[in-house]
Amino acid sequence: MRMGFGAAARAGWDTPLRRLSRFDGVTFHPVDEASVTERHVHVFVHGWQPGFRLQERLHAITDLVPALPAWDPRLIDPVGRTLSSYHVELLGALAALGPDHCVLHYSWIDESATDARVMLAYRSRQATQVNGRRLAAGLQQVLKNGESQLHLIGHSHGSAVAVHAAAALGRTPRQVTLLDAPENRLSRLSGAANLIDVVLPRIRPTRDDEGPFVDSYASVFGRPYHRKGGLSSVVDVSLYAGLALKPTFVEALSEAHLYAVDWYALSVREAERGVGYGWSPLYDGDVKHLSSYYHSRGRKKPLTLGRRAGLAHLMGAQRPLPAPRRDSRVTDIDLHLNRRYPASAKVLRLLPGDGLITFDVEIDGGDGDEQILLELDAVPVFIGLARYPVPRSGRYVVLTDGSAGEHLLTARLVTDASTRAWPRVLITNVTIESWPDAMPGFTMERVAMRTFVSGLVVGGAGTLFTQMLWKLLRWTLRPLPRIVRRMLAERALR
């Protein structure tokens, strides 16, 4: 059966508002359009949720809903805790700041939940771009007070969602807080790394009133951002999480990963200490005189921070000169969308080091309720509402999974099936950008090759070490039989 143009256009319809909830300090409530009027608005975004995939799908299908929210009490981990219990302390601390503070929770567990396998983290990270745009669209719908100061807080992959949302908003958030955003080599190897250091400059972090203040707290998988180009205003904090005694190493690592959330909740409750939320501009903190890098001195005094200098600075070394940047390539690709052709696709040819696809969007006509969706290799990466134009800073696609070769860029126009005023959408100036420090994207083949090479090197080194140890033992023990015979002979003579 062939689907008509109207039904086809409606099939990809997304409702960002259903992913937002308001927390009042006790429970979660739905959020209506233009219902948030508070002066301070804090938005928390959870991260990757391994092991929750089957639970989420089972309850969502049973309830006849497209997705289950992350705050549903039926989502329980193997130790008997609800998923929301790991974040409710931070949400409660923010809600306790006063009646002029609104706390929102964004859920994307239907796309961030996977089976409990480390190598599936890339699936969660793939969904961060489109969910960042969904969050931006949802906030544009619910915020009524144009003077509200917006605070985006993301944990793990939720930090990438927060950054993509900040870039896609039509207004500048006051602060963006990243809690153990995965960026180190371990997370890059497994495909879990956010790779948002190329996106952060697009939101222009600053220490003044013109742009967002960005602070990042690393407990396991994070690494400092302030050394990257355009990010000198970011404040990085290295937290001492340690590894608690748990039945498995994975559980200990997970608790250390969540330590950044607990630490920031403590800084909210004890804001007078002047660190974490205590130095936030939302708390009237003076961010202009903050250092770029801090570290905690231990778990016994978590809010006691010291200034930290990088190893290269301590050794007196100078930073290496940046690698030459390849000029951006403006392609001849234009995507036209209208009533007759609500979808269009083009093939992009990428080179090693390509990192971003930027574009312009023109919309002519329509009633403003239309949605423009973009996919890269069948993975949703962008959503925009015609009523809320996405600023230039948010018109991009990150090629975190891109490898050299051909890739398919697809655009779709989604409207209400009953609409009569179909717009014409034109996507132009499709440009491919690269940057010197671009990391190769995640592929199973690359991980398999790295695993094989690592195993080969480790195995070879282990074999060589074993052979050398055996030869050393043989050389050491060679005179032992002669010594024993001599001792026996001397005892016989006695």
Are 114 and 48 in contact, with CB atoms under 8 Å apart?
yes
- Residue 228: pLDDT over 90: no
pLDDT at position 3:
38
Quote the DSSP letter at residue 394.
Answer: G
- Give residue for tokens 């996977």: 114
Q: Please give the mean pLDDT across all residues of the chain.
A: 85
- Residue 455: pLDDT over 90: no
- Residue 11: pLDDT over 90: no
How far, in Å, CA of 305 to CA of 239, rounded?
Answer: 9
pLDDT in tens, 320-330: 444 445 668 88
Strand boundaries in 194-263, DSSP class E: 213-218, 235-238
Q: How much of the chain, in percent, has pLDDT values that exceed 70? A: 84
- Residue 313: pLDDT over 50: no
- Residue 453: pLDDT over 70: no
pLDDT at position 310:
54
DSSP per-residue letters across 100-165: TEEEEEE--HHHHEE-S-GGGHHHHHHTHHHHHHHHHHHHHHHB--TTPEEEEEEETHHHHHHHHH
More confident residue, 117 or 13: 117
298: buried, middle or exposed (CB in 10 Å: 19+, 13-18, 0-12)? exposed
The residues, ordered by sequence, that sit 6+ positions from 139 with a Cβ below 8 Å of its Cβ are: 20, 41, 43, 104, 150, 165, 169
Q: Calculate mean pLDDT across residues 61-72.
A: 95
Q: Parallel, antiparallel, or unpaired: how do β-strands 175-179 and 213-218 relate? A: parallel
More confident residue, 218 or 321: 218
pLDDT at position 198:
86
pLDDT in tens, 152-189: 999 999 999 999 999 999 899 999 999 999 998 888 87
- Residue 445: pLDDT over 70: no
Are 31 and 94 in contact, with CB atoms under 8 Å apart?
no
How far, in Å, CA of 192 to CA of 186, rounded?
Answer: 8
pLDDT at position 489:
76
Q: What is the largest CA-CA distance in the chain?
A: 117
What is residue 406's three-state secondary structure?
strand
Are 350 and 390 in contact, with CB atoms under 8 Å apart?
no
pLDDT in tens, 249-308: 677 888 899 999 999 999 999 999 999 999 999 999 899 999 999 999 777 889 999 998
Are 166 and 201 in contact, with CB atoms under 8 Å apart?
no
Question: Which amino acid belongs to residue 285?
Answer: G
pLDDT in tens, 329-371: 888 899 999 989 999 999 999 888 888 899 999 999 888 889 9
CA dihedral of 381, 385, 389, 392, whole degrees rounded to 10: 0
How far, in Å, CA of 83 to CA of 79, rounded?
Answer: 11
Quote the DSSP letter at residue 54.
Answer: H
With b for 16 or more beta-carbon neighbours within 10 A and e for fewer, the 17-49 pattern comes to: bbbbbbbeeeebeebeeeebebebbbbbbbbbb
What is residue 348's three-state secondary structure?
strand
Task: Say what the pTM is.
Answer: 0.86
